[in-house]
A and B are shown apart, each in its own frame.
Chain A
């Protein structure tokens, strides 16, 4: 019971945290780009104003989102010890290191320079203010790298040996350059850019539609934002798929069961087809299936007729290797999460392609149907992120560290009552935060970029020099 509840708790807190993190990573980089453009156009009043206003508009959404990402991240640092004490003892020597390094290298960087960026406009030069958003962006990106180093080690342990009852690190460099890490970092980082770009496109579309309805010309902030979002988003979605494909190939070698479970392939096949969807059950006798011939072999092995191992064969191999037991993840979870993730990706790719074409034809600001479509598209990257994360974690089951430690052996020796308390507690807190965050994001996303909001600190900076200047209050 403690095990199942702890798994639910980890799943809920981590997926919730991961709603905000990709947007933070992506928006930080986009803001750095916008502010750089504002800085470089500082002698051209019109262009400068446009980039400056863009930065100020998106910055509000960034900060609301950042706050929740930070506070839910604190829980991540401690819940391994709380609910997964046996895991922590077993892996601490390897897994703890990237976590500690993440805090030292990434968290200090992002939190300190975020403070400078929010509050320092009238206290540091424009150049240093610009440098601080780049450092925030570097901090968030580094943070992703280190936490994925820890996660990649759970997927594909390297640079360690087992001494007694624990895994001990033997090669830090190997841990930090794990092939699984490189591949998943690139996938997650580009997906983060997609997330930010799609949000930016959707919010801009809402504003462009509104000014169209009011018979006003498109606002330069949102025309430019939509274009930037389309360019960055289109490149990033292609890259996300490319690196995702790269990950799938690695997975086929490193975690064959996960790949087979993603596809619900029971028996090893040559020239395996890719299942688009299944109606009925996944246990070999589906009522209806749509399949792309040879596609899975191409994805997994880069060859038309390459073999793709089946669940039954891998189960037999793993049972022979690790002893009797069930080595299959929950198939409907892996099958559908994988499909939904890939499906969202393909939809976003199509939407970005159409958007680019409209942009090329200079019809973007007038295309009512496309702008209308871009708004609900905002949900897709968030859904894809959550599904991808659930897939990669659930697909590794029953292992917590693949081939080394099972999830059932990893849990803390604590009473069920405690876990119930914190599970309910965190879920309740996160639900409240989600509602407040969604409300604030929606409110600030709809704000007119020319109007100062009630506390807009960006409009009263840098006015006075000398000892008696009184900058406005930010918070």
Chain B
């Protein structure tokens, strides 16, 4: 009894469609923004050869990673409010992967703040591990999770999940996980090539050039498999083919853009790749929000998992008023921190240049950690309390 989705589409309300779109956009923005900071975290041991390098890398995302992560919290909260059944089935069903993601995000989050608090090499190494694994695990598992949402998991009556942890580890989902992992890593490498200078910049570019074909291959494999699945289930009509094709083309040209030193465009390209990936998943999913592998009758759709119309209306008003404000100030904060992050110790600029304004002043000299000698009892740096 395979019913095509088109035949099963009841008249969904505009608000339900709107909130499905909003949640898709929240995930798109989350993947694009936290994608690069996951990438930077994963590349910490690869691009960062020593402590100072690693600090440069962490500081490229320092002011923004927390704001990026809020997109996840908004996606979670919006799903709860707009589609309670989706929220409940997804997070109780994907229980252990979600736990692993949360644990990873916890360690990674505190690592950024705590790492620099002590100069002990063992302390810093520990937090480097936390940042690396804390970035890699969610990068892999978000792909696994979304591939499963689309592929279908054992959902039975009353939206209950009847699978186990191991149902989630199927080949298709693992390809999805590898795809997000490699795309995030590439996205992060390109971001680093935009935000760093000198050797670190060169190293990041080199890593990006190596990652680019691998990420493109994974993306092609995943999207092709997705297309075959959709084709077999007769629900291909809702994905305009230009979306996945644009994603693939974008990721395929990243290597060339980097060789041409068009780093800004390369970043746009990896972002387009991520947008296309998430958009393909959500477009293919619509109007379902979770697919049941037991029977299409048990699918969660925007209709049967939606909240009350009144709630959707209130949330729409709040979202329309405040999302533009958030975008403006978050965009502004990116503008404030647009400069490349440099290694203060590595640049030979005279200590007090013209008018006491050298490129280094204070930074490299009074900050003992940067000259690798420091402990907390170091002499005061009486620098600019301006």
Contacts and interface: CB of A to CB of B under 8 A. Distances in A.
Interface stretch (A210-218, A297-305, A459-467): A459-467
B366 A422 contact: no
B88 A169 contact: no
Interface in A274-303: none
B381 A455 contact: no
A161 B308 CA distance: 11
Given A89-B85, A418-B96, A473 B344 contact: yes
Contacts of A112: 67, 329-330, 333
A454 B59 contact: no
A472 interface: yes
Interface in A415-434: 418, 421-422, 425-426, 429, 433
Contacts of B318: 100-101, 104-105
Contact of A71 (B72, B106, B374, B377): B106
Interface stretch (B4-12, B114-122, B272-280, B289-297): B114-122
A451 B379 contact: yes
Interface string A431-475: 001001000100110010011111111111111111011111111
A473 B337 contact: no
A99 B353 CA distance: 52
A473 B103 contact: no
Given A77-B77, A433-B106, A460 B366 contact: yes
B322 interface: yes
Interface stretch (A60-68, A383-391, A398-406): A60-68
B308 A473 contact: no
B70 A124 contact: no
Contacts of B378: 451-454
B383 A459 contact: yes
Counting chain A residues whose Cβ lies within 8 A of the other chain, the interface size class is 35 or more
Given A67-B112, A475-B113, 13 more contacts: A49-B385, A80-B91, A109-B329, A119-B59, A119-B63, A169-B310, A440-B114, A460-B367, A470-B360, A471-B363, A472-B344, A472-B364, A474-B59
Given A119-B337, A452-B378, A67 B63 contact: no
Contacts of B357: 463-466, 469
Given A107-B74, A116-B336, A82 B362 contact: no
Contacts of A307: none
A475 B40 CA distance: 14
Interface in B61-82: 62-64, 66-67, 69-70, 72-74, 76-82
Interface string A90-130: 01111111011111110111011111101110111010000
B87 interface: yes
Nearest to B360: A470
Given A115-B64, A463-B357, A475 B112 contact: yes
Contacts of B336: 116, 120, 123-124
B301 to A, nearest CB: 15
Contact of A169 (B62, B103, B117, B311): B311
B118 to A, nearest CB: 7
A123 B337 contact: yes
A456 B367 contact: yes
Contacts of A433: 106, 110
A88 interface: yes
Contacts, number: 332
Given A96-B84, A444-B117, A469-B359, A104 B322 contact: yes
Contacts of A82: 91-92, 95, 98-99
Decide if the interface of chain A is mainly helix, strand, loop or mixed: helix
B118 A454 contact: yes
B367 A100 contact: no
Contacts of A333: none
Contacts of B366: 452, 459-460
B99 A421 contact: yes
Contacts of B73: 73-74, 77, 103, 107
A146 to B, nearest CB: 10
A172 interface: yes
B386 interface: yes
B308 A116 contact: no
A65 to B, nearest CB: 10
B380 interface: yes
Nearest to B367: A472
Contacts of A12: none
Interface in A329-380: none
B21 to A, nearest CB: 15
B307 A93 contact: yes
Given A89-B84, A103-B70, A473-B341, A67 B110 contact: yes
12 contacts: A80-B87, A82-B98, A85-B91, A104-B318, A104-B323, A111-B69, A169-B308, A452-B366, A459-B384, A464-B361, A468-B359, A473-B55
A422 B363 contact: no
A102 B78 CA distance: 10
B90 interface: yes
B333 A116 contact: yes
Contact of A64 (B113, B308, B342): B113
A52 interface: yes
B92 A93 contact: no
Contact of B92 (A412, A453, A465): A412
Which 6 pairs, one residue from A and one from B, show the smallest C-beta to C-beta distance? A92-B84, A81-B91, A96-B81, A100-B77, A96-B80, A115-B63
A455 B116 contact: yes
A177 interface: no
Contacts of B119: 454-455
A461 B383 contact: yes
A429 B103 contact: yes
B382 interface: yes
B326 interface: yes
B81 A92 contact: yes
A99 B381 contact: no
Interface string B248-276: 00000000000000000000000000000
Contacts of B229: none
A472 B78 contact: no
A116 B63 contact: yes
A78 B63 contact: no
Contacts of B112: 67, 475
Contacts of A73: 73
Contact of A475 (B79, B98, B115): B115
A58 B382 CA distance: 18
B80 A114 contact: no
B349 A462 contact: no
Of B92, B356, B368, most buried by chain A (CB within 10 Å of CB) is: B92
Contacts of A109: 329
A443 B344 CA distance: 27
A168 B381 contact: no
Nearest to A449: B380
A86 interface: yes
B109 interface: yes
B113 to A, nearest CB: 4
Contact of A83 (B82, B92, B368, B384): B92
B382 to A, nearest CB: 7
Given A100-B77, A100-B81, A168-B311, A67 B113 contact: yes
B1 interface: no
